A and B are shown apart, each in its own frame.
Chain A
């Protein structure tokens, strides 16, 4: 009977965990301008900044994943920064078939950037990993050419 109750409690806790709301943190102003230092330099190389940025929260070392539609033959740069002092996040990318794509990495003043030429058209998954702890904001933008 004890085992039966334990299993019921286990099932109930799993069900409620699925409904947990993600934690939100007030966005830190100034995160996006930091990205524009690098974006501006890339702009001089003919890259266009997408009008829009993705903001979110990194919790501990749990990565954030983002689906992006890329087009074969286009060159892309992804730039990301977090609000944590001294933290430089890292970026990785998987192609539409789930294979890891080799990126050209770049870092400057806590901003991480990664460049790639898309080999295929389709939905890629970009992963942002942080080395810090706790909740902190991040902001990502990308450019294409």
Chain B
């Protein structure tokens, strides 16, 4: 009897483990991610809490050509967020300038023709101060570029655009949270799940793309920010969480947009 137990007990445990494993997988497999939220959603939340002076988050124009396509994709994403910032500031001229840069970088990536019409719409809506339509147009422009990338089997670049957009959004958002001093504004920065999703997407790329210097840098900064987001807002020796997130994202944005690397 003892011998039978010795044989059967591990088998029963194996079967039981597989049952619970399958139950967990069944529960998990039904969960999908819809889409990564747009920076406009993040800014809408911040706007309600912190009422930031959005124009103070403008930056100097960045180059619209880069030696590496992944780097160009990251910077295209940051430009899209610049567009949202200009819309929040209700600054039509700044929206138009950013729109032109977006088209130029999309052209450099070989998908300019897909968004040329969008550039015209952006300009028209900016002239009419139609901020609501501009947000939707920026959303649509990003998605069209991403879809064109996917059609060219460049899904990695599509993810880099999204990552670039979010890194720039976090740079501006963390500054807004810092300036407001509002706890609720700081809470909106806790987006480690979103960054983990983007990082995991980049980790699924083929080895050659995954290990390109630009992709490695994005993965590293996403990973660092994930860790920083998991800390409590006041934790740290000399900086708040918002300040640390702001510095990490700003350092990346500046170095990614600097041509000579």
Contact = CB atoms under 8 A, between A and B. Distances in A.
A122 B15 contact: no
A18 B35 contact: no
A71 B37 contact: yes
Contact of A54 (B8, B34, B49): B34
A142 B14 CA distance: 43
B11 A7 contact: yes
A73 B48 contact: yes
A14 B30 contact: no
A79 to B, nearest CB: 13
Contacts of A104: none
A65 B30 contact: yes
B187 A48 contact: no
Contacts of B42: 71
B30 A63 contact: yes
A11 B187 contact: no
A67 B32 contact: yes
A15 B18 contact: yes
B11 A123 contact: no
A125 B190 CA distance: 17
Contact of A144 (B18, B31, B44): B44
A136 to B, nearest CB: 16
A66 interface: yes
A74 B43 CA distance: 10
Interface string A34-58: 0000000000001011111010100
B150 to A, nearest CB: 13
A71 B50 CA distance: 14
A49 to B, nearest CB: 7
Of the listed residues B19, B21, B41, B48, the one surrounded by the most CB atoms of chain A closer than 10 A to its CB is B41
Interface residues of A, number: 42
B15 A14 contact: yes
A72 interface: yes
A123 B37 CA distance: 11
Interface string A1-40: 0011001101100110110001000000000000000000
Contact of A4 (B11, B36, B44, B132): B11
Interface stretch (B55-63, B134-142, B213-221, B243-251): B134-142
B187 A121 contact: yes
Contacts of B12: 7
B139 A51 contact: yes
Main secondary structure of the interface of A (DSSP, over half): mixed
A50 B37 CA distance: 8
Contacts of B18: 11, 14-15, 18
Contacts of A49: 136
A11 B14 contact: yes
Interface in B167-211: 184, 187-191, 193-194
B213 to A, nearest CB: 29
B155 to A, nearest CB: 15
A142 B187 contact: no
Contacts of B11: 4, 7-8, 11
A66 B187 contact: no
Interface of B: 7-8, 11-12, 14-15, 18-19, 21-22, 25, 29-38, 40-42, 44-45, 48-49, 132, 135-136, 139-140, 142-143, 184, 187-191, 193-194
Interface of A: 3-4, 7-8, 10-11, 14-15, 17-18, 22, 46, 48-52, 54, 56, 62-74, 118, 120-123, 125, 140, 142, 144-145
Which 3 pairs of residues, A with B, have the shortest CB-CB distance? A71-B45, A51-B139, A14-B18
29 contacts: A3-B8, A4-B7, A7-B11, A7-B12, A11-B14, A11-B18, A14-B19, A17-B22, A18-B22, A50-B35, A50-B37, A51-B139, A51-B140, A54-B32, A56-B32, A66-B31, A67-B33, A68-B37, A69-B191, A71-B37, A71-B44, A72-B188, A120-B187, A121-B45, A121-B187, A121-B189, A122-B193, A123-B193, A123-B194
